[in-house]
């Protein structure tokens, strides 16, 4: 894998330039993203554009050292008041050190025999999506929007290894406001249909990513809230397209064929919970949050210890997002 020059300095420069630019804008109306994973039902006004950069830093495994920055510059455009299109680029920044004693998991499988450490910033892929608003939380009893995304990845998010993966992602957004929009609750549900291949591995996977957030306006421009996230993968880890070998007895594979659609065994899951804070000006907005893995599990072949999942999940997710409109 080719290293980028000074990846830490590169990331710091990106955020410094983006934040400085946000402070100079004069005529934006922030679409408020109150949480890290949960998104409200709002769509962009017709003809308007929003630029956003977000980073979720995933920190800590059961042992060793692990840090992964999931960095996503994004642009959204309002085709109509109800229909928004968006595109984002994925940059994966990994810094971890593992060894064979850490237990099963992608980092051990791919890096333990190469010294157990990896530090690189790489282009990870891209995502495009559409979002259509059906009901407004400001005019109707509750808000409802539907979305559809397509994601293409050439790096594995857990360890940075080279892969070929594409996903179709239906999405649903629900929102309910109270007390003249002072108290906001929202739910985001995603069902990911993934096909992934790498040397010796070929997998079909169905994943669920569900998040729920509540946020209260404690002062003008300020929201403080809580967020819960649940993520699970349904698959049988495969080698050369086979999952019924001696290492995966009893697991069933997911199937993504239109003539044979099937949800396989739940191989892993993790639940997170924590606080969020949001600040909005007319020109720009910022959101931060810290989610902690409170429970995790999976199949007998997942790394589950002390009631947490450690091969696919981390101790903490520290999120930061900055955005502006014009």
pLDDT at 53: 97
CA gap 282, 24 in Å, rounded: 11
Residue 311's pLDDT band, with cuts at 50, 70 and 90, is confident
Mean pLDDT of all residues in the chain?
A: 85
Counting residues of the chain whose pLDDT is more than 70, the rounded percentage is 80
Residue 106 lies in a domain: yes
Q: How many domains does the chain have?
A: 1
Which CATH number belongs to the domain containing residue 187 in this structure?
2.40.160.40
Q: With contact defined as beta carbons under 8 Å apart, do 13 and 19 qualify? A: no
Range of the structural domain that residue 27 is part of: 7-325
Residue 160 lies in a domain: yes
> What is the average pLDDT across 135-155?
96
If one counts every other C-beta atom within 10 angstroms of the C-beta of residue 154, the result is: 16
Most confident of 88-92, 118-122, 193-197: 88-92
pLDDT at 2: 45
- At residue 153, does pLDDT exceed 70? yes
Residue 14's pLDDT band, with cuts at 50, 70 and 90, is low
Residue 88 lies in a domain: yes
Nearest to 108 by CA among 42, 37, 159, 56: 159
Residue range 198-229, pLDDT digits in tens: 877 778 899 999 999 999 999 999 999 999 99
pLDDT at 88: 98
Query: Which distant-in-sequence residues (6+ apart) come within 8 Å of 52 by Cβ?
Result: 33, 73, 74, 75, 76, 321, 322, 323, 324
Give me the phi and psi of 14, to 5 degrees please: -60, -50
Residue 226 lies in a domain: yes
Residue 23's pLDDT band, with cuts at 50, 70 and 90, is very low
Residue of higher predicted confidence among 302 and 313: 313
> What is the average pLDDT across 61-89?
94
- At residue 26, does pLDDT exceed 50? no
Give the pTM. 0.85
> What is the average pLDDT across 57-70?
91
- At residue 242, does pLDDT exceed 90? no
Residue 1 lies in a domain: no
Residue 130's pLDDT band, with cuts at 50, 70 and 90, is very high
Residue 259: alpha-carbon gap to chain centroid: 29
Instruction: Looking at the chain, list the stretches that DSSP marks H as alpha helix, in order from N- to C-terminal side.
Output: 7-24, 106-111
Reading the block at residue 97, the tokens are 């050190």
> What is the average pLDDT across 134-147?
96
> What is the average pLDDT across 47-58?
96
Question: Cα dihedral sign for 59, 93, 152, 13?
Answer: positive
Residue 2 lies in a domain: no
Residue 12 lies in a domain: yes
Question: Cα dihedral sign for 9, 153, 213, 309?
Answer: negative
Residue 76 lies in a domain: yes
**Angle at alpha carbon of residue 272, lines to 287 and 208, rounded to 5°:** 100
CA gap 197, 204 in Å, rounded: 9
């Amino acid at each position: 894998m080719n290293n980028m020059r000074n990846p830490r300095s590169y990331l710091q420069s990106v955020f410094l330039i983006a934040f400085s630019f946000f402070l100079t804008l004069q005529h934006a109306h922030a679409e408020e993203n109150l949480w890290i994973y949960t998104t409200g039902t709002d769509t962009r006004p017709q003809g308007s554009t929003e630029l956003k950069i977000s980073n979720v830093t995933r920190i800590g495994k059961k042992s060793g050292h692990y840090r992964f920055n999931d960095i996503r510059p994004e642009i959204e455009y309002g085709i109509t008041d109800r229909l928004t299109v968006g595109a984002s680029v994925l940059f994966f920044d990994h810094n971890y050190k593992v060894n064979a004693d850490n237990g099963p998991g992608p980092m051990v499988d791919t890096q333990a025999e190469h010294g157990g450490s990896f530090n690189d910033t790489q282009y990870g892929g891209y995502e495009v999506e559409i979002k259509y608003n059906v009901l407004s939380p400001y005019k109707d009893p509750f808000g409802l929007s539907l979305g559809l995304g397509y994601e293409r990845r050439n790096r594995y998010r857990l360890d940075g290894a080279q892969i070929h993966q594409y996903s179709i992602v239906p999405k649903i957004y629900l929102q309910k406001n109270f007390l003249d929009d002072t108290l906001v609750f929202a739910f985001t549900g995603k069902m990911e249909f993934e096909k992934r291949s790498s040397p010796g591995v070929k997998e079909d996977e169905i994943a669920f990513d569900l998040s729920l957030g509540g946020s209260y306006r404690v002062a003008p421009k300020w929201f403080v809230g809580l967020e819960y996230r649940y993520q699970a993968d349904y698959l049988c880890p495969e080698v050369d397209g086979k999952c019924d070998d001696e290492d995966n007895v009893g697991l069933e594979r997911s199937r993504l064929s239109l003539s044979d659609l099937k949800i396989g065994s739940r191989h892993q899951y993790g639940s997170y919970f924590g606080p969020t804070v949001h600040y909005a000006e007319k020109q720009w907005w910022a959101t931060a949050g810290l989610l902690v893995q409170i429970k995790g599990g999976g199949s007998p072949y997942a790394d589950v210890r002390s009631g947490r999942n450690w091969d696919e999940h981390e101790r903490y997710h520290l999120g930061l997002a900055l955005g502006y409109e014009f």
